[in-house]
A and B are shown apart, each in its own frame.
Chain A
Amino acid sequence: MMRQKRARKIEGSGAKAVKNVISAVLVLYTLIAIYLIGSTVLNSFKTKSELINNTMGWPRSFTLENFRQVIVEDHFLGYLGNSVILVVASVIVLCIVASMLGYALAHYQFKGKALLENYFLLGLMFPIQLGILPLFVMLSRLHLTNTLPGLVLIYAANLSFSTVLFTNFFRGLPGSVLESARIDGANDFQVYIRIVTPISKPVISTVALISFIQIWNDFFMPLVFLTKTRVKTLTLAVYSYSANFLANWNKIFAAITIALIPIVIIYFLFSEQIVDGLTGGAVKG
């Protein structure tokens, strides 16, 4: 309410025309994204010969042949499966571990807590790319390179940002909720499972969404750790098409469509939460 009031006041004092021009320019600018996404999806339904002389227009005939080639001949479902397994497993492990950490940092007092909190913040400043060689040596010795579990461990270990989100959330919880549970005779683990986890659903979904996006889109880690075809992810498969796109000109649009649609749907459904999660946690830092 307050915000709307403020906005109206500002509106009244400004030059309306300038604002409308800016708005119009930005709306035009957003057409780039619509064109790129739209034409990719449309092109995925065109035949190879139509693509050559009609790259920008509406398809004259819809064909699913490109998708058939990509999925059946190029084993795209396998890459899709790898991406899904990787994301789901990493997000689950990350949520469990970071939520427990955040709960402990928010609700217990113990020696060295401030130090521990700062220790977990280091990961925000120094990206794991800097430690990738030792990580590579370590995973090779554990025979975890070219395996999905190896990468799950790396993604789940990158828990600084998620832990901050969980800690901030738990700090905001009223202590009385947890107290009353304890009076009922529940121990700490029961309180965590039965009371803390259910009420932390909003922050769990935020962490899950933003990690989903980051891991689904990640390029560097899979490039380094997943070099064998059977473990490749969608982003790598997409890259291998576009790196050699003249040879795959018809297939690439179908491949991109498959990789793009899940993330766009998720963004359409949860954009507010995704934006808040990616930016809201950052401002407080």
Chain B
Amino acid sequence: MKKKKKNRTHLFFIAPGFILYTVFMMIPLAFAFYYSFFDWSGIGPMKFIGLGNFTKLFTSPRVSATFFSALGNNFKYLACVMLIITPIQIFFAYILYIKVRFHKYIRFMLFLPYVISTSIVGFFAIVLFDPNVGALNEIIGNLFGKAHKLAWLGDPNLVFKIFVGVIIWQCIGSGMMIFYANMQEIPEEIVEASVIDGCGEWKRFWRVVLPMLTSSLKTNITLSVIYAMTMFDLPYVLVGPQGGATGKLDFINMVFYRFAFGGTYFGETSIGFGSAISVVMFVIIFILTLVTKKLLKKLDY
């Protein structure tokens, strides 16, 4: 297809995307690193302070306590992904794969919440879990009396569980369908061989299907790591920008948001300090992605 004369037409096709992507995606990412070395509120002169922002983030008692407690929540959520959400997704995918009754309807409905905006999902959670007008408390009140009503989202011991429950409801479909698509690609011969060998469904799942899921596992974990480390919308909608009164739903991206854009509400705005938080998120995502890749490579052979 290549012509003899020097052909540069491909540049015409590449240029618009390249410029747009570089200017509004890659340069901002790079500049987050640059800004993180400065004390700068966004207006006025920039003052170079080296690693000062990072020192403040990790050691200043007031800030670092908030930051590490939020970071702990990010990892707590990531642990929930690995131990609860991903296994459920694989299980549901297998249920669809073996075509239980109504599997088409189930697949359609399980994925549906994923296309609904988080601000609406957050409202649904309020409809169910609000202490005053929520449906659950209304049911409890009618069945067992008012004394048994729960504070739900206002209860520091319950709020994280509700949050994970809402995410399971909203997001289970996406990972499930990635696993499901992967299961469809498992070669016919292997499945048939296991049938002939008299392998039961349960055994087949562990011996045949699960080991074939490495590629979708890699995709799902990478996506989950990014999602977990940039968690923002749902906790913000559920309990507000502070992560709730007890900070049980505070995440690093929300700490970032408060320092970067919440100046009017929280008294402190700093482009430099905010960028330092971005850089930390960047580094964590990078390391976790590398670790995932390494671990799953081992599984592959």
Contact = CB atoms under 8 A, between A and B. Distances in A.
Interface string A139-171: 010000000000001101111100100000000
Interface stretch (B6-14, B60-68, B77-85): B6-14
Contacts of A241: 123
A158 B24 CA distance: 8
A126 B21 contact: no
B177 interface: yes
Contacts of A128: 25, 28-29
A98 to B, nearest CB: 6
Contacts of A71: none
B223 interface: yes
Given A36-B124, A133-B32, A283-B181, A219 B17 contact: no
Contacts of B147: none
B21 A159 contact: yes
A122 B230 contact: no
B84 to A, nearest CB: 16
A133 to B, nearest CB: 5
Contacts of B271: 133, 137
A280 B219 CA distance: 11
A195 interface: no
A279 B171 CA distance: 13
B118 interface: yes
Interface residues of B, number: 104
Nearest to B198: A13
Size class of the A contact interface (CB-based, 8 Å): 35 or more
B100 A23 contact: yes
B13 A260 contact: no
Given A22-B100, A263-B116, A220 B233 contact: yes
B37 interface: no
Interface stretch (A60-68, A100-108, A200-208): A100-108
A110 B7 CA distance: 9
Contacts of B133: 55, 246, 249
B110 interface: yes
Contacts of A36: 124, 127-128
Contacts of A239: 119, 122, 237
Given A159-B21, A283-B216, A242 B126 contact: yes
A279 B28 contact: no
Nearest to A271: B108
Contact of B112 (A163, A235, A267): A267
Contact of A157 (B25, B226, B261, B281): B25
Contact of B116 (A7, A9, A217): A217
A243 interface: yes
A256 B103 CA distance: 29
A185 interface: no
Interface string A175-199: 1001100000001110010000000
A184 to B, nearest CB: 15
Contact of A279 (B122, B178, B222): B178
11 contacts: A22-B100, A33-B113, A56-B138, A104-B14, A125-B289, A126-B29, A133-B275, A159-B25, A219-B117, A243-B240, A285-B219
**A-B pairs with the 7 shortest C-beta distances?**
A131-B28, A157-B24, A134-B31, A104-B13, A30-B109, A217-B117, A108-B10
Interface of A: 2-3, 6-7, 9-11, 13-15, 19-20, 22-23, 26-27, 29-30, 32-34, 36, 39-40, 55-56, 96-98, 100-101, 103-105, 107-110, 116, 119-120, 122-123, 125-138, 140, 153-154, 156-160, 163, 175, 178-179, 187-189, 192, 213, 216-217, 219-220, 223-224, 234-236, 238-239, 241-243, 245-246, 249, 252, 256, 259-260, 263-264, 266-267, 271, 274-276, 278-280, 282-283, 285
